[in-house]
Amino acid sequence: MYGAILGDIIGSPYEFDRGKKTKDFPLFCRDSKFTDDSVMTIAVGEALLNTVGRTDEEIRDAVTAGMRIWGKKYPWAGYGQRFFRWLGSRDPKPYGSYGNGSAMRVSVAGWLCDTIEDTRRIARLTAEVTHNHPEGIKGAEATASSIFMARTGRSKEEIKEYIIREFGYDLSRTCDEIRPGYYHVESCQKTVPEAITAFLEGQDFEDVIRTAVSLGGDCDTLTCISGSIAEAFYGIPADIKEECRKRLPEDMLLVLDRFTQKTDPFHDPFLDGNEIIEKAIIKYRKNSTKETLSNVLNVIVMRSARNGHFMIPVDISDDGRTFTFKTVDTSDGQTWHAVFTTRAEYEKGPESQILSNFIDTTLQGLLDTGSPGCVINPWGESFILTRDLIQMMFIAEKDVKEEIQ
Query: Of the candidates 181, 177, 152, 175, which has an alpha carbon nearest to the alpha carbon of residue 223?
Result: 175
Annotate 71-103 with DSSP letters as a single string: HHHSTTS---HHHHHHHH-SS-------BTHHH
**Does the structure show a pLDDT above 60 at 402?**
no
Q: Give residue-wise pLDDT tens across range 250-306.
A: 999 999 999 988 887 667 888 888 989 999 999 999 999 999 999 999 999 999 988
- CA dist 246 and 27 (Å) reads 14
- pLDDT, average across residues 204-230: 95
Q: pTM for this structure?
A: 0.74
**CATH class label, 2-267:** mainly alpha
Strands 373-376 and 335-339, how do they pair?
parallel
Using DSSP's 3-state secondary structure scheme, residue 222 falls into helix
Q: Are 384 and 330 in contact (CB under 8 A)?
A: yes
Query: Which one is predicted more confidently, 363 or 349?
Result: 363
**pLDDT (tens digit per residue) in 122-153:** 999 999 999 999 999 999 999 999 999 999 98
pLDDT (tens digit per residue) in 371-390: 899 999 999 999 999 999 99
Residues of the chain with CATH 1.10.4080.10: 2-267
How crowded is the C-beta side of 98, counted as CA atoms within 13 Å? 11
Angle value at C-alpha 149, between 33 and 21, nearest 5 degrees:
40
Do 192 and 225 touch, CB atoms closer than 8 A? yes
Phi, psi for 19 (deg, rounded to 5):
-90, -175
* Distant-in-sequence, close-in-space partners of 389: CB < 8 Å, separation ≥ 6: 297, 373
Sheet holding 373-376, edge to edge: 327-329, 335-339, 373-376, 383-386
In the chain, the percentage of residues whose pLDDT exceeds 70 is: 97
Which is it for the CA torsion 79, 82, 83, 84, positive or negative?
Answer: positive
Summarised one tens digit per residue, pLDDT across range 201-211 is 999 999 999 99
Per-residue pLDDT reduced to its tens digit, 229-262: 999 999 898 789 889 999 999 999 999 999 988 8
Lowest average pLDDT, out of 14-23, 120-129, 355-364, goes to: 14-23
Please, are residues 234 and 244 in contact by the beta-carbon 8 Å criterion? no
Beta bridge partners of 187: 99
- In our burial notation (b when 16+ CB lie closer than 10 A, e otherwise), range 131-148 reads bbbebbbbbbbbbbbbbb
Q: How far apart are the first and last CA of the chain?
A: 32
CA distance 194 to 41: 20
User: How high does pLDDT run on average in the chain?
Assistant: 92
Where do runs of H (alpha helix) occur along 74-181? 81-88, 101-104, 109-112, 116-128, 134-151, 156-167, 175-178
- Whether residue 200 has pLDDT greater than 90: yes
Sheet holding 353-358, edge to edge: 323-325, 309-316, 353-358
For 43-88, write each residue's pLDDT tens digit. 999 999 999 999 999 999 999 999 999 999 999 999 999 999 999 9
Sign of torsion, CA 244 26 208 83? positive
Confidence (pLDDT) at 180: 94
> Up-side HSE of residue 177: CA atoms within 13 Å toward CB?
8
Please say if the pLDDT value at position 398 is more than 60. yes
Q: Is 344 exposed, middle or buried (0-12, 13-18, 19+ CB in 10 A)?
A: middle
pLDDT at 403: 53
Q: Is the pLDDT of residue 404 over 50?
A: no
CA atoms within 13 A on the CB side of 25: 26
What size, in residues, is the chain? 405
Instruction: Read off the pLDDT of residues 20-37 as tens digits, 9 standing for 90 and up.
Output: 899 999 999 999 999 999
CB 82 within 8 A of CB 92: no
Nearest to 381 by CA among 296, 303, 320: 296
Task: Quickly state the pLDDT bin for 401 (edges 50, 70, 90).
Answer: low
Inter-axis angle of helices 275-286 and 238-246, nearest 10 = 140
Q: How many other CB atoms are found less than 10 A from the CB of residue 373?
A: 18
CB-based contact 295:383 (threshold 8 Å):
no
